Amino acid sequence: EINMKKIIALVAIVAMVAAFSMSVVGKKLPSVGYVLVGPANDGGWSMRHDQGFKALENYGYEVAGVESVVEADSASVFKKLARKHDIVFGTSFGFMEPMVKVAKKNPDTIFMHATGFMGSDNMDNYVCRGYQARYLTGVAAGLLTKTNNIGVIGSHPIPEIVRNINAIALGARSVNPDAKVNVIWINAWFDPPKDTDAAKALYESGNDVLYTTGDIPSVVILAEDKSTPDKPIWSMGNDAPMNSFGPNRIATGVIFNWNLLYKHILDNLAAGKLTMGQRYFWGMKEGCAALSPWGLDVPQEVSNRVDTIKMNWINDMQETDGVHWDDLWPFSGGYNKRDGTHVAAGSIDRHQLETMTYYVEGIVPSFPGE
């Protein structure tokens, strides 16, 4: 009889577990719509976002994206996606205001906007702290340059790109006070002819470390093509690993691992735990921004120096000179603007980073519109 009771209890437990499993498995996961500003195969920004969203399919999420959407036309795309999906992502700064308007009219859909700062009850923002990794690439650039001239192709002069260029200058001049940063703006995210022309112009004017903030590996290809033993040219990748385009003449670069952030947001939404106003601001510690692999020809003393700074930063260690690598570093360390105005250590906040429209000392041209 005792055995019978045990069996009945066991059968009841198994039935409860089965019912619970069926309710969890049977629950429909939220579906995802996303909008890319460039083609999904651009080799940079849009490709990394696309890969991040596609990775969600491994966990059972249904995703659907629209690529190469002009920012001014994005509202109609957001509207269509809002009718079909539980959460809609926009991955470019210029999508911000159109998304705010669409979010207001679709209160039952969650909206997420990359790199911006405007939100609402059903709209939040997210960004990876790319400037952290940019600073580290700047340290490498300052050590590698022989001409003390570092060239940057600027995409659009929005605060995110401006602070990235400023971080490069601060990193380079932390190890090489004579380093100067030259910028050519092309006012485009994805424009291969303009990007390539700007890369050539920077090379021809004596810059021997080249960056792009656009979405193609133009500078990596050029450095591999034009570098000679007596006049070495280095390049820095952007958004995605670009080593395959110039394995010998790439130094490193910034890469984004959006998949980590997207899974975090979707898992919270699926569990009913997603709250608005998080304004996700992940960086190197969370793995959202990182350095791409070192190029084949980078001297070991350069990679060692940068990797030491990176690990001290990630592990919250003090540098030997007393610098504390906090989340707003390098801007929290104090610096001079290009016009000579001093920004005191510890005085900068996130809002000031998000609205940054000036150059720091060491950047040669005047700021656009000045």
Q: What would the pLDDT profile of 131-185 be if each residue is shown by its tens digit?
A: 999 999 999 999 999 999 999 999 999 999 999 999 999 999 999 999 999 999 9
Confidence of residue 40 (pLDDT cuts 50, 70, 90): very high
- Average pLDDT (248-266) is 97
| φ, ψ dihedrals at 113, nearest 5° | -120, 130
Q: pLDDT at position 319, please?
A: 53
Q: What is the structure's pLDDT at 370?
A: 77
CA distance 57 to 55: 5
**Are the C-beta atoms of 195 and 216 separated by less than 8 Å?**
yes
| Residue 102 neighbours by CB under 8 Å, 6+ apart | 75, 78, 79, 82, 111
CA 299 to chain centre: 26
Report the chain's mean pLDDT, rounded to a whole number: 91
Alpha carbons 143 and 141: distance in angstroms, whole number: 5
Alpha-carbon span 169 to 204, nearest angstrom: 20
**Percentage with pLDDT > 70 across the chain:** 91
Residue positions counted in the chain? 370
Tokens of 235: 């390049």
CA distance 286 to 288: 6
Q: Which residue has 């997603």 as its token pair?
A: 274
pLDDT in tens, 21-33: 333 445 799 999 9
Q: How many CA atoms lie within 13 A of 357 on its CB side?
A: 7
Look at 236-245, 306-315, 319-328 and tell me which has the smallest mean pLDDT: 319-328
pLDDT in tens, 109-145: 999 999 988 999 999 999 999 999 999 999 999 999 9
pLDDT tens per residue, range 194-252: 999 999 999 999 999 999 998 889 999 999 999 999 999 999 999 999 999 999 999 99
Instruction: Report, as an integer, the average pLDDT of 285-297.
Output: 95
- pLDDT given at position 26: 54
Among 56-70, 88-102, 222-236, 310-324, the minimum mean pLDDT is found in 310-324
Q: Which two tokens stand for residue 106?
A: 């679709």
